[in-house]
């Protein structure tokens, strides 16, 4: 069974002329786990992966497999399977594509059928790729990455385009690869897309690292807040101030940085303020992610923001109207808790190389 090695990104930067695509990125991807490499469009994911695979020269820093750059790997196809930039000719069959690559890499022909079986497209092996759906192409891309039975998999948006059944399948597939001890790095611009597949996350925004850690640690970060309202909001605000509870004004009341509605209710009670609503507001993981990458979902005024914020049921005795969630993007949205600053200002890694032309 192939064993994975860590992917090590160290102070990696890439400058394209005036555009800083990646800036001093440092993180490690561990074997035996599925890691989500996340960030909105344009965050620098593809550029990072291209540097990792030796397709783009870094301006500074390094991207290696246990210290070895891709270009120096003794047997790249058997070490690293990558779905980046795999273009399939529409007129050729799936089997033909894989057979050609296998022959060139000295991989036995029998492996072609094995990977087609493993990715569930064996029945379509002799069909032309031009007729494949996006989901079938994704599976073919995965077959390709698996040809050399590599210990490391680098998959660019592999879930994009899959139907619900395909999504369910790939979750199990990725988990199995990690359980076998492989290193599995999966990029996506949506946390919700990979949330059920990944153990760890690396989140980037504008080329910079904003967060690494386990998915569970990100979940813990989703700090609930309390919504409280009163016929006399000014008095309520003063009551919160008096109790030392920081808050901001929302559409449905005050948003208080306190997870326990009882504490908020008590503060109002002490000040003799009548309440009209009191309930807990809990943001979802996706909102936490959006806040981290600086993209707050907008919800039109008056619309229940069900997808933007998942308000807990109003607490007993509260007069909340239908558990209407308040402001979207509710977590305080510290842009980078745990952000890794790999080096200080003026570090050598800051130096800008001359950008190469013609890349991409
Ligand atoms: N060859 C290039 N020349 C100039 N700018 C580039 C080049 N490649 C990428 N960029 C810029 O670098 C930034 C990061 O792009 P990149 O494609 O790495 O982001 P991404 O996170 O992969 O986004 P997406 O999911 O949309 O591909 C963007 O501003 C992009 O326009």
Cα-only R_g, the chain: 25
Query: What per-residue confidence (pLDDT) applies to 272?
Result: 97
Mutate to test the pocket of ligand 1, among 15, 20, 21 (most ligand atoms within 8 A of CB): 21
Q: Contacts by 14-21 with C-beta closer than 8 Å and gap 24+?
A: 14/44, 14/47, 14/48, 14/51, 14/56, 14/58, 14/59, 14/207, 15/59, 15/352, 15/353, 15/355, 16/355, 16/359, 17/355, 20/207, 21/47, 21/207
The whole-chain average pLDDT of the chain stands at 80
Whole-number Å distance, alpha carbon 100 to ligand 1 midpoint, is 31
- This prediction's pTM: 0.71
Q: Which superfamily is assigned to 7-215+340-350 in CATH?
A: P-loop containing nucleotide triphosphate hydrolases (3.40.50.300)
169 burial type by CB count under 10 A (0-12 exposed, 13-18 middle, 19+ buried):
middle
Mean pLDDT of 212-241: 87
Tens digit of each residue's pLDDT (9 = 90 or more) over 36-49: 999 998 999 999 99
Asked whether 247 lines ligand 1 (CB < 6 A), one says no
Of 57-66, 280-289, 311-320, 325-334, which one has max mean pLDDT?
Answer: 57-66
Query: What per-residue confidence (pLDDT) applies to 50?
Result: 95
Relative orientation angle of helices 94-105 and 134-146, to the nearest 10 degrees = 20
Whole-number Å distance, alpha carbon 51 to ligand 1 midpoint, is 12
Asked whether 190 lines ligand 1 (CB < 6 A), one says no
Query: What per-residue confidence (pLDDT) applies to 283?
Result: 62
Query: What per-residue confidence (pLDDT) applies to 306?
Result: 26
Mean pLDDT of 213-217: 86
Tell me if 33 sits within 8 A of 213, measured CB to CB: no
Supply the residue whose CA is at minimum distance from atom 4 of ligand 1.
Answer: 16
149 burial type by CB count under 10 A (0-12 exposed, 13-18 middle, 19+ buried):
middle
Asked whether 42 lines ligand 1 (CB < 6 A), one says yes
């Amino acid at each position: 069974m192939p064993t994975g090695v860590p992917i090590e990104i160290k102070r990696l930067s890439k400058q394209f002329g005036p555009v800083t695509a990646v800036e001093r990125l440092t993180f490690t991807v561990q074997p035996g786990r599925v890691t989500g490499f996340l960030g909105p469009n344009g965050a620098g994911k593809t550029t990072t992966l291209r540097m990792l695979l030796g397709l783009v020269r870094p301006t500074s820093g390094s991207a290696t497999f246990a210290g070895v750059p891709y270009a120096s790997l003794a047997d790249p196809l058997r070490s690293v399977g990558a779905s980046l930039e795999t273009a399939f000719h529409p007129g050729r069959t799936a089997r033909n594509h894989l057979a050609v690559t296998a022959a060139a890499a000295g991989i036995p022909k029998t492996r072609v059928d094995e990977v087609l079986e493993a990715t569930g497209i064996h029945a379509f092996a002799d069909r032309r790729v031009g007729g494949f759906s996006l989901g079938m192409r994704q599976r073919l891309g995965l077959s390709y990455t698996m040809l050399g039975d590599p210990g490391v998999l680098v998959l660019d948006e592999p879930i994009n385009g899959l139907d619900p059944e395909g999504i369910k399948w790939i979750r199990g597939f990725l988990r199995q690869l990690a359980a076998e001890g492989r290193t599995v790095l999966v990029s996506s611009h949506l946390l919700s897309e990979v949330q059920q597949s990944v153990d760890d996350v690396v989140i980037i925004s504008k080329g910079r690292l904003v967060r690494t850690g386990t998915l569970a640690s990100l979940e813990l970060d989703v700090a609930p807040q309390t919504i409280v309202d009163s016929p006399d909001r000014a008095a309520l605000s003063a009551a919160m101030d008096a109790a030392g509870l920081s808050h901001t004004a929302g559409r449905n009341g005050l948003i208080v940085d306190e997870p326990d509605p009882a504490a908020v209710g008590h503060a109002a009670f002490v000040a003799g303020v009548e309440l009209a609503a009191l309930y807990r507001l809990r943001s979802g993981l996706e909102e936490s992610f959006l806040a981290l990458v600086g993209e707050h979902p907008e919800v039109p005024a008056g619309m229940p923001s069900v997808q933007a914020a998942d308000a807990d049921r109003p607490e007993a005795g509260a007069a909340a109207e239908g558990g209407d969630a308040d402001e979207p993007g509710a977590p305080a949205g510290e842009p980078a808790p745990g952000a890794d600053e790999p080096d200080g200002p003026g570090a050598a890694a800051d130096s800008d190389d001359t950008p190469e032309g013609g890349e991409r």
